[in-house]
Amino acid sequence: MHSLKYDDAAMWDTVAGQGGVTKAEWRAMIPRLREADRSLARLSRGKQGWISPGSAKDPWVKEVLAQAKKVRGSSRGLLVIGIGGSDLGARALLQSLGDPSKGVWLDVLSNPDPEYIAAKLDDAKEWLKETAVLVVSKSGMTLETMAIFSLVREKLKALKGDKHRSQIYVISDPNGNPLHELSKSEGYNFIPHALNIGGRFSILSSVGLFPAACAGIPITRVLKGAQDRSLKNAAQRFAALHTLAMATHGQGTHVLMPYSNALETFGDWYRQIWAESLGKNGKGPTPLAALGTIDQHSQVQLFHDGPNDKAYTFISVEKPRRDVRLPASVNRIMPGLGGKKLSEIMQASYKGTATALSGAQRPHGTITIPTISPETVGALAQFFMLATAYTGELMGVNTFDQPGVEAGKIETKRLLGLV
């Protein structure tokens, strides 16, 4: 059984009218798609390690599991300090799959907002003594991360003295950057950041999977879902259709709308990987995260009646992990609603919104997963990473650099007198 299915019927002109992709446009895209496939095959041979997901047999996976077991055995919680790709993947995995009964609690500090950080540190004595601290920075010099880590580290040292060392875990490039050197000199627990995996593609590496394993998430099952061979063809179609929607039909805003609260943060993760990978050289799509059914009552008015400059993707969950049936008493307010399940309301809401968009000739597709599980979440992550890489190839941009981000970092450091 496949971990997900991608239905693109409403991306075509047969449903979306002039805003949909035509068969002629698709035929012209095929040679470019084949070249993109050859390019990714070359990248998979070492340069981009995420293309071939790990498995339970890999040494790095065994190391992650061993370190996570140590955290679960010695701490009540894990504080993750990172930003962007260093924390969004862990957040997405935690929200979708976390179970407090099976692992430690997780919290994340990413934004150096003084009011928020100060409030966290004020009551650190109550929780930090029994909390493991994970700092994630591939370069070892991420400004925001190092600032927050320095504050937490000093607070932990004040509480525990030399014993603080056993509670600190570091994920970074193992090639001698300042954070790596600090880790070695202090004797912190060190987990290498894969050299051939960039931050925003690191959700299925130690960066995303170590915090997930600490939270009791079965990460080998997540990786198994990412190995679904059907993902490649689905991701190719998604990439080609969205490239055509953007380049040929002016639909440069790409909306991802899961109908599940558990996948809300996954939308934030998608927004980063789509924007930071594809916004290059004066072109690129604008990703927009939405959530069903909530955004039916805010953004869907724009989606349905606003400019036809967007392509939409729904994520539908066929069977929830838990369900609730409405009491008969609700019939006094809405006759006929009693006895129905909340899952029926979610499904009807998704289908109703999709049908309405079809009626308005707005291009859209649906990713359907059987349920939310480690396998399906792993498949979703791998699907969107592959779709991002294929889209970058079809656009003719370097998916894996981030010159705009680096320019901002340099200017920020100049303003702080650090360069």
* Percent of all residues in the chain with a pLDDT value above 90, rounded to a whole number: 93
**pLDDT interval class at 419 (50, 70, 90):** confident
pLDDT score for 47: 87
Residue 186 a catalytic site member: no
Q: Which residues are 313's β-sheet partners?
A: 256, 365
Fold of 54-219: Rossmann fold (3.40.50)
Phi, psi of 177 (to 5 degrees): -70, 170
Domain boundaries, the chain: 5-42+227-403, 54-219
Encoded tokens for 302? 């724009």
Domains 5-42+227-403 and 54-219 equal at CATH topology level: yes
Fold of 5-42+227-403: Rossmann fold (3.40.50)
Largest CA distance in the chain: 69
Encoded tokens for 203? 């959700």
Tens-place pLDDT, residues 386-407: 999 999 999 999 999 988 888 8
Q: Are strands 105-109 and 77-81 parallel, antiparallel or unpaired?
A: parallel
pLDDT score for 230: 94
Nearest-angstrom CA–CA distance, 238 and 6: 8
Kindly tell me the sign of the dihedral angle through the C-alpha atoms of 187, 189, 194, 200. negative
Encoded tokens for 34? 């084949």
Decide: 394 and 53 in contact? Cβ < 8 Å.
Answer: no
**pLDDT interval class at 157 (50, 70, 90):** very high
Q: What's the pTM value of the predicted model, to 2 decimals?
A: 0.96
Kindly tell me the sign of the dihedral angle through the C-alpha atoms of 249, 255, 258, 259. negative
**pLDDT interval class at 319 (50, 70, 90):** very high
**pLDDT interval class at 1 (50, 70, 90):** low
Residues 84-93 have a mean pLDDT of 94
Nearest-angstrom CA–CA distance, 93 and 138: 20
**pLDDT interval class at 292 (50, 70, 90):** very high
Decide: 359 and 352 in contact? Cβ < 8 Å.
Answer: no
Task: Count CB neighbours of 191 within 10 A.
Answer: 21
Residues 96-107 have a mean pLDDT of 93
Residue 411 a catalytic site member: no
Q: At what angle do helices 264-278 and 374-395 cross, to 10 degrees?
A: 20
Encoded tokens for 26? 């698709």
Q: What would the 3-class secondary structure string for the chain be? A: CCCCEEECHHHEHHHHHHHCECHHHHHHHHHHHHHHHHHHHHHCCCCCHHHCCCCCCCHHHHHHHHHHHHHHHHCCEEEEECCHHHCHHHHHHHHHHCCCCCCCEEEEECCCCHHHHHHHHHCHHHHHHHEEEEEECCCCCCHHHHHHHHHHHHHHHHHHHHHHHHHEEEEECCCCCHHHHHHHHHCCEEEECCCCCCHHHCCCCHHHHHHHHHCCCCHHHHHHHHCCCCHHHHHHHHHHHHHHHHHHHCCCEEEEEECCHHHHHHHHHHHHHHHHHHCECCECCEEEECCCCHHHHCCHHHHHHCCCCEEEEEEEECCCCCCCECCHHHHHCCCCCCCCEHHHHHHHHHHHHHHHHHHCCCCEEEEEECCCCHHHHHHHHHHHHHHHHHHHHHHCCCCCCCHHHHHHHHHHHHHCCCC
The answer to whether the peptide bond before residue 131 is cis (omega within 30 degrees of 0) is no
pLDDT, the chain, mean: 96
* Percent of all residues in the chain with a pLDDT value above 70, rounded to a whole number: 100
Q: Are strands 310-317 and 189-192 parallel, antiparallel or unpaired?
A: unpaired
Tens-place pLDDT, residues 331-357: 999 999 999 999 999 999 999 999 999
Distances (CA, A) of 63 to 75, 109, 209, 213: 18, 24, 11, 11
Encoded tokens for 237? 């179609």
Kindly tell me if the per-residue pLDDT of 45 is higher than 70: yes
Nearest-angstrom CA–CA distance, 40 and 29: 17
Kindly tell me if the per-residue pLDDT of 46 is higher than 90: no
**Selection from 128, 133, 124 nearest residue 188 by Cα:** 133
Catalytic member of 138, 144, 249, 276 = 276
Phi, psi of 187 (to 5 degrees): 75, 30
Residue 276 a catalytic site member: yes
pLDDT score for 67: 97
Kindly tell me if the per-residue pLDDT of 126 is higher than 90: no
Q: Are strands 131-136 and 77-81 parallel, antiparallel or unpaired?
A: parallel
Encoded tokens for 232? 């490649």
